[in-house]
Amino acid sequence: MSDEDQNKVIDGRAVAKKVEAEVKAGVEELKSEKGITPGLATILVGDDPASKMYVRLKHKACDRVGIYAEDHPLPESTTQEELLDLIKTLNAREDIHGILLQLPLPGQLNEQEAMNAIDPAKDADGFHPFNMGQLLIGIEELVPCTPKGVIRALEEYNIDIQGKHAVIVGHSNVVGKPMAAMLVNRNATVSVCHVFTEDTSKFTKEADILVVATGVKHLIKEDMVKEGAVIFDVGISEENGKVYGDVDFENVIKKAALVTPVPGGVGPMTISILMQHVLMAAQKTA
C-alpha cells in the first residue's frame, strides 16, 4: 500500500483506545466520588467457539478500563425458564449495571423474549425494543454498539454527516437498521440497500458515507464506490482461516477518502462502545 493510501486507513484500534481512555477516567471518577464500580455480567449459553472468543474479548476490555466483569456460562441444554431466571436475578443486582446476552442462542431458546427480559437500563448491547425505539425517535442512550462506533469514528475523523448521502448495505437489526436510524437522526440523507435491492452499485456509487454489513466477502469493489467516499466495513467472513471484510480493501482504498480495515476497524470500536455503555448505565444509578 502506498503511503498516501496508508493515511486513508481508519484506525479502529486508535478510536477504541481513545474511547477506552475516556471510559477508564469515568470509571475512576465514579469509584472515587460515589464508591460505585461499574459491573458487567455476560451470559454465554453453550460452547460456540466464536461466542466464547467474543465474551473473552469483552472481559479483557473490562479489565483494561476497570469495569468489574463476571461471566455466567450456561450449558447448551439451558431452558428458557433457566435463562429468564438468571436475567431476572441480574436485573435485581445492584452491583451489575450492564447485562450482555451473547448471541446467537441455541435453537430451543427464544432470543427476543430473553432480550426483552433484560432491564432496558442495563441493556449494554442496546438491543432492547425500548432502547431501539428511543433510538428511532432520536433519543440515543443505550444503542447498538457497532453503529454507535461508526458514528464515533466519523466524529473522530471530523466527517460531516448532515446533508451527506449515507448508504447502508445490509438491513439487519444489529447493524443496518440502527445505523440508518443514527444517520437519519444526524440529518444525513440515508439509503438502505440489501439483498433485495435491484442495483446496489447504483446506490453505493453515490455514497458520501458507505456502511457495509453483509458478510459477503469483497462485495464492494473499486468501481462501486465514489471518489472520496468514507467507508465502514462491518462485514466479516472467513475463508481457509483468513478473515475478509465486505470491502475489497486493497483496491477500494485507492478511491476512498477513508476506509476501515478488517480486522482492526469496526471490531475494536464496537467493544469500546460496550464499555462506554456499562459506565453510562452505572452513572445513571449514582
Part of the chain binding a second copy (CB under 8 A), chosen from 50-58, 78-86, 180-188, 217-225? 180-188
Which listed residue (7, 89, 110, 173) binds a second copy by CB under 8 A? 173
∠234-238-244 over CA atoms, to 5°? 45
Going through the chain in order, the beta strands assigned E by DSSP cover 39-45, 68-74, 98-101, 165-169, 189-193, 209-212, 230-233, 237-239, 242-244, 258-259
Indicate the residue among 72 and 277 with the shorter CB distance to a second copy: 277
Q: Determine if 91 is a binding residue for a second copy (CB under 8 A).
A: no
The answer, yes or no, to whether the previous bond of 263 is cis (omega within 30 of 0) is: yes
Q: How far apart are CA 286 and CA 281, in angstroms?
A: 9
- In the complex, the smallest distance separating the C-beta of residue 110 from a second copy, rounded to whole angstroms, is 13
Indicate the residue among 51 and 189 with the shorter CB distance to a second copy: 189
- In the complex, the smallest distance separating the C-beta of residue 115 from a second copy, rounded to whole angstroms, is 9
- In the complex, the smallest distance separating the C-beta of residue 135 from a second copy, rounded to whole angstroms, is 7
Which listed residue (10, 181, 213, 262) binds a second copy by CB under 8 A? 181
Indicate the residue among 99 and 135 with the shorter CB distance to a second copy: 135
Query: How many angstroms separate the most distant Cα atoms in the chain?
Result: 56
Indicate the residue among 67 and 174 with the shorter CB distance to a second copy: 174
The one catalytic residue in 8, 11, 102, 246 is 102
Interactions with a second copy, residue window 152-171 (CB under 8 A): 162-163, 165, 171
Interactions with a second copy, residue window 185-244 (CB under 8 A): 187-194, 196-198, 203
Binding site members for NADP(+): 170-172, 236
| Known catalytic membership, residue 17 | no
CB-CB neighbours of 61 under 10 Å: 21
CB-CB neighbours of 159 under 10 Å: 16
Of 240, 238, 239, 245, residue with least CA distance to 262:
245
Q: Determine if 110 is a binding residue for a second copy (CB under 8 A).
A: no
The one catalytic residue in 125, 208, 233, 246 is 125
| Known catalytic membership, residue 125 | yes
| Known catalytic membership, residue 242 | no
Residue 281: DSSP 8-state: H
Strand order in the sheet with 98-101: 68-74, 39-45, 98-101
Sign of CA pseudo-dihedral 121, 125, 126, 130: negative
Site of grid cell 444503542: 143
Residues in contact with a second copy by the rule CB under 8 A: 112, 127-139, 162-163, 165, 171, 173, 177-178, 180-181, 184, 187-194, 196-198, 203
User: Which amino acids are annotated catalytic?
Assistant: 58, 102, 125
